Structure 1
Amino acid sequence: MTAAPAATILVVDDEPDLRTLYELTLLREGYQVETAGCLQDALQHLERRRFDAIITDMRLPDGMGLELLRQLREDMRTERCLVMTAYGSAENAVEALKAGAFDYLTKPVDLKQFRTVVASAVQADPAASRVPRMPAYRQPAPGDRGHAALQRMAGESESMRMVKQRIVKVARGMAPVLVRGESGTGKELVAQAVHANSQRAEGPLVAINCGAIPENLLEAEFFGVRKGSYTGASQDRPGYFQAARGGTLFLDEIGDLPLAMQAKLLRAIQERSVRPLGATQEEPVDVRIVSATHRDLAADVLAGRFRQDLFYRLNVIEIVVPPLRERREDLPALCEVLLARIAADAAMPVPRLSAAAQAQLARHPLSGNVRELENLLHRAVALNDSDELQLDHDALEAQAETVPMNAPEPAAAAAPMAEPQATPPPPEHLPRDLQAYMDQQEREILVRALHENGFNRTATAARLGISLRQIRYRIARLDIPTPQESDAHDDTG
């Protein structure tokens, strides 16, 4: 693998033997090489000329290699920088990528990987080998692709404004992005916005649901297949990495990937190359990785379900999408966008949501987030026969009675009441009738919860972490009197 002869590389390392080894390896590949043994020497090289790439050790006798990244950014230079770190220092690697490094290598450096990563940084096409850094954060202009992608993320709450600002900032670089959030919050929209606001917007965005591919097909789907590699492989077929070349690869539900495939994915990301099934050589691939999950990957790492090295590779920059219950002020805007989309699909005028329906949504748990909201609106449009859109009461109750999509484990679901005295003190003497005593305690808790929630049974059920059906059963069994209008409250809840 030989790069263009004119490509020039600066190697910065304080160990003379290693510096010589890297220099000779690069010279054999056809590069022009200059070397420096310390930070000040490297800065002087940068003052004299520009390079196609810079390879620097993290720790130098007179400073940190990251200082070179800072200088490049201040001078708005476009050299891609590779950082070498001590083996196992994952925190340093993450720090380097966040600072703008193109990639990092762990010491002792594998020379094959070294050549592959350098070849990715220095490409034949100068325009493709550099991704200019934007000098500062800028809001995308109305009408451009990035602005349109952000507009699809309806809502102007403080939390959503922060998410959108972070998207635009992280889109400028090449660092991997991990999008976290509950199911139905719109993580794929975040990935689309990152791609649309990046320098790769003209390239493809390839989205994969890692949990939807059978385990025995994962390698072929990710890396491609060569003709004749197995029975039925009648022609070469590219994988997702090849399809996303020059663009962004979105790995949705990355936490569902089996451990064996995690190791292969890590290698592909690390070496920026893949080997299709049946191939004898690896192919270089140039993709940016954006991944998403609703799981706690850090906990999965501790439990041995997710590789720590892959976690550090993917979680360089994190974007957390807030659940809908934490940004209810965005409901009107979300409803407007969703209703316009539903109406367009049905070739009908955009319906208007009634005031009663808006009040219902404001009180509904919406544990399924935007996905649940869209489901409710879609059902309402299908059943609507008036000028104003009303919500389907049966659908609201049915969804409230199901286990929430993002509920905690049953043991932790029922949070204690707000006041410390909510938990009744133990009796001075053991009760003669245990069931009667427990019924009395349960009745007192239910009565207080109903009062606090205005006798709205749906809201009370959500507060106590039980279903609406269970609330009704307990009210009837414990003979709890409720106002006559409580049924109407249930309809709006």
Structure 2
Amino acid sequence: MKSVSATDRSRVVQPRVLVVDDEPDIRELIRLTLTRMQVDCLEAATLAEALQLLDQQGQGRIQLCLTDMRLPDGNGMDLIYRIQKYYSHIPVAMITAHGNMSSAIEALKAGAFDFLNKPVELQTLRNLVTSAVRLEKQQQIAPGCDPGPELMGQSRAIEKIRALVVRLSRSLAPVHISGESGTGKELVARMLHHRSHRCDKPFIAVNCGAIPADLMESEFFGHRKGSFTGATQHKEGLFQAAEGGTLFLDEVADLPLDMQVKLLRAIQEKSVRPVGAQKEEFVDVRIVSATHEDLAAKVESGEFREDLYYRINVIELRVPPLREHAEDIPYLAAYFLQQLATEMGRSAPRLSAEAQERLCRHRFPGNVRELENVLARAITLNEGDLIEIEDIQLDNRSQSACDEATAGANGLQKVCSMGLEAYLELVERQILQEALEATHFNKTAAARKLGITFRTLRYRLKKLEMD
């Protein structure tokens, strides 16, 4: 192997991290750790010094900024906003007091890459810096990763999700994907993983409702040999299996309360303790969760812990039901027919105009999954090159209820034309707007007037993009 001379080594551009903290001991600890990682360290004790260093370094000279929340002349959040606006390519991690999760979550919502707790855990720091450097390399060169799945469709709603996925893939912030069954929540989770700097690491998906309650702790965190009857050998858990990658918690609302407590600790401390082990193990995973249920309502009813809700729901990504982007149905239908035909070893049939119109008028309570199943039946029954309307077998129960509505039922007619979810959203939006106007936009008074909590009102305003 050819040796590398000192001159060649000097030409290697080392990663550079900006550390902003008014405590010299913290800066020194981080600097020593980064030096051992062959990472240059720039130091600033104030917000003004940090901004000056950013301006001096220019574009592309800093791979990561670590900033304390409290600074002598400002707030770490101010620095996050400034970097987001002028240096959006630089990931920022917030250094917060241990246990101050509200500050960490606020930073993540503002666009922070990740956070560190004080006292700084060196292994956590090293992993964070490594992730940030990998992120920059991913932006410079195409990574040797499977490009992963793609969300099919050309509607504005689908384009919006694609754009959000690109933006969120740059962060380590937990993402909660909401949406009805069959909309493609796991597909979106896989897109987040494959477009991130973790794309070459594992993506582990688990259905939280499918694990027996007495096995949950062992499944999530692993166990040691002899820790319980039947534990004949060491076994790693889902967190360990997802090391360096993404852990996707599907149907997270189905977790029992006692497991919610343990999951919250694992996410906050970034460590797990296998059943029967004496000490905790550090884990580096990104948490992405999903459910078709209303988590906020679960919190209200006491079925889901509020602290875990805010921890996994740092950023919410809503996947719309198919009826809200029905213009994608012809495009999706053509895609599924091609896929199904390839699997069957035959040429792909096309839809007749009548069959396509029938599909576009259907409400699809089962969403994209229902559309695929409908087309699978149609292509199986039809051996020709054209799928006719009689080949389309739909569940018409919800549709017939609309068709049989009396002419005088204006509200029901509107539901038939818009779809129930879209109609209820419209009504809710109008009621909230009236309540806000009646209280001169005092949200506390509006919540009291509506008979709901302030937190519920805030959640609904955010969900409807009215906040």
Q: From 67, 72, 77, give the equivalent of 1:66.
A: 77
2:149 match = 149
- Comparing 160-169 and 353-362, the one that deviates more: 353-362
1:400 match = 396
In structure 2, what is the Cα distance between the partners aligned to 1:303 and 1:44? Answer: 50
Post-superposition shift, 1:385? 4.2
In structure 2, what is the Cα distance between the partners aligned to 1:293 and 1:394? Answer: 30
Residue pair 2:337, 2:348 contacting (<8 A) in 1 also: yes
- Comparing 346-355 and 222-231, the one that deviates more: 346-355
Post-superposition shift, 1:187? 0.7
Give CA deviations for 1:257-315 in whole Å, capped at 9, x if unaligned.
11111111111111111111111122111111111111221222222222222222212
Does the residue aligned with 2:406 lie in a helix, a strand or coil? Answer: helix
In structure 1, what is the Cα distance between the partners aligned to 2:158 and 2:232? Answer: 48
Post-superposition shift, 1:71? 6.0
Does the residue aligned with 1:251 lie in a helix, a strand or coil? Answer: strand
- Comparing 244-253 and 93-102, the one that deviates more: 93-102
In structure 1, what is the Cα distance between the partners aligned to 2:365 and 2:212? Answer: 29
Does the residue aligned with 1:149 lie in a helix, a strand or coil? Answer: coil
Does the residue aligned with 2:317 lie in a helix, a strand or coil? Answer: strand
In structure 2, what is the Cα distance between the partners aligned to 1:268 and 1:89? Answer: 13
Q: From 365, 374, 377, give the equivalent of 1:376.
A: 374
1:338-377 alignment to 2 at 5 Å?
338-377=336-375
2:232 match = 234
Post-superposition shift, 1:21? 7.8
1:278-289 alignment to 2 at 5 Å?
278-289=276-287
Structure (1 or 2) with the larger CA radius of gyration: 1
Distance 1:29 1:359, change over 3 A: closer
Does the residue aligned with 1:327 lie in a helix, a strand or coil? Answer: helix
Distance 1:55 1:200, change over 3 A: closer
1:158 match = 156
1:16-27 alignment to 2 at 5 Å?
19=23
Residue pair 1:171, 1:194 contacting (<8 A) in 2 also: yes
1:224 match = 222
Post-superposition shift, 1:209? 0.9
Structure 1 position 102 matched with structure 2 position 114: yes
1:76-225 alignment to 2 at 5 Å?
81-84=93-96, 90=102, 93-105=105-117, 111=119, 114-115=120-121, 118-123=122-127, 127-128=130-131, 130-133=133-136, 145-146=146-147, 149-150=149-150, 153-225=151-223
Does the residue aligned with 2:192 lie in a helix, a strand or coil? Answer: helix
Give CA deviations for 1:349-386 in whole Å, capped at 9, x if unaligned.
22222222112212222111111111211111222244
Post-superposition shift, 1:132? 3.2
In structure 1, what is the Cα distance between the partners aligned to 2:285 and 2:222? Answer: 15
Residue pair 2:323, 2:364 contacting (<8 A) in 1 also: yes
Residue pair 2:221, 2:238 contacting (<8 A) in 1 also: yes
In structure 2, what is the Cα distance between the partners aligned to 1:47 and 1:362? Answer: 54
Structure 1 position 255 matched with structure 2 position 253: yes
Does the residue aligned with 1:200 lie in a helix, a strand or coil? Answer: coil
Residue pair 1:353, 1:389 contacting (<8 A) in 2 also: yes
User: What is the Cα-based RMSD across aligned positions, in Å?
Assistant: 4.3
Residue pair 1:266, 1:310 contacting (<8 A) in 2 also: yes
Return the letter of the residue paired with 1:360: R
Does the residue aligned with 2:329 lie in a helix, a strand or coil? Answer: helix
Does the residue aligned with 1:300 lie in a helix, a strand or coil? Answer: helix
Does the residue aligned with 1:319 lie in a helix, a strand or coil? Answer: strand
- Comparing 60-69 and 316-325, the one that deviates more: 60-69
1:446 match = 406
Residue pair 2:149, 2:191 contacting (<8 A) in 1 also: yes
Return the letter of the residue paired with 1:100: A
Return the letter of the residue paired with 2:286: R
Return the letter of the residue paired with 1:205: F
Distance 1:368 1:392, change over 3 A: farther
Return the letter of the residue paired with 1:446: T
In structure 2, what is the Cα distance between the partners aligned to 1:208 and 1:197? Answer: 20
In structure 1, what is the Cα distance between the partners aligned to 2:420 and 2:33? Answer: 66
In structure 2, what is the Cα distance between the partners aligned to 1:246 and 1:65? Answer: 27
Does the residue aligned with 1:179 lie in a helix, a strand or coil? Answer: strand
Residue pair 2:224, 2:275 contacting (<8 A) in 1 also: yes
Distance 1:54 1:448, change over 3 A: closer
Question: TM-score, length-normalised on structure 1?
Answer: 0.68
Give CA deviations for 1:66-105 in whole Å, capped at 9, x if unaligned.
3444566655786763331696672663334532242254
Give CA deviations for 1:427-467 in whole Å, capped at 9, x if unaligned.
xxxxxxxxxxxxxxxx9x624469x97xxxx969x889xxx
Residue pair 2:17, 2:66 contacting (<8 A) in 1 also: no
Distance 1:183 1:155, change over 3 A: same
Return the letter of the residue paired with 2:303: R
Post-superposition shift, 1:165? 1.0
Distance 1:149 1:85, change over 3 A: same
In structure 2, what is the Cα distance between the partners aligned to 1:30 and 1:145? Answer: 31
In structure 1, what is the Cα distance between the partners aligned to 2:408 and 2:75? Answer: 61
2:450 match = none
Distance 1:352 1:76, change over 3 A: closer
1:308 match = 306
Q: How many residues align?
A: 395
Distance 1:355 1:43, change over 3 A: closer
In structure 2, what is the Cα distance between the partners aligned to 1:119 and 1:128? Answer: 12
- Is there any run of 5+ residues in structure 1 with no aligned partner, and where? 1-6, 14-18, 405-413, 418-442, 465-493
Percent of counterpart pairs with the same letter? 42
In structure 2, what is the Cα distance between the partners aligned to 1:99 and 1:277? Answer: 35
Distance 1:324 1:53, change over 3 A: closer
Distance 1:8 1:88, change over 3 A: closer
1:12 match = 21
Structure 1 position 39 matched with structure 2 position 47: yes
In structure 2, what is the Cα distance between the partners aligned to 1:160 and 1:346? Answer: 29
Distance 1:176 1:350, change over 3 A: same
Give CA deviations for 1:456-490 in whole Å, capped at 9, x if unaligned.
xx969x889xxxxxxxxxxxxxxxxxxxxxxxxxx
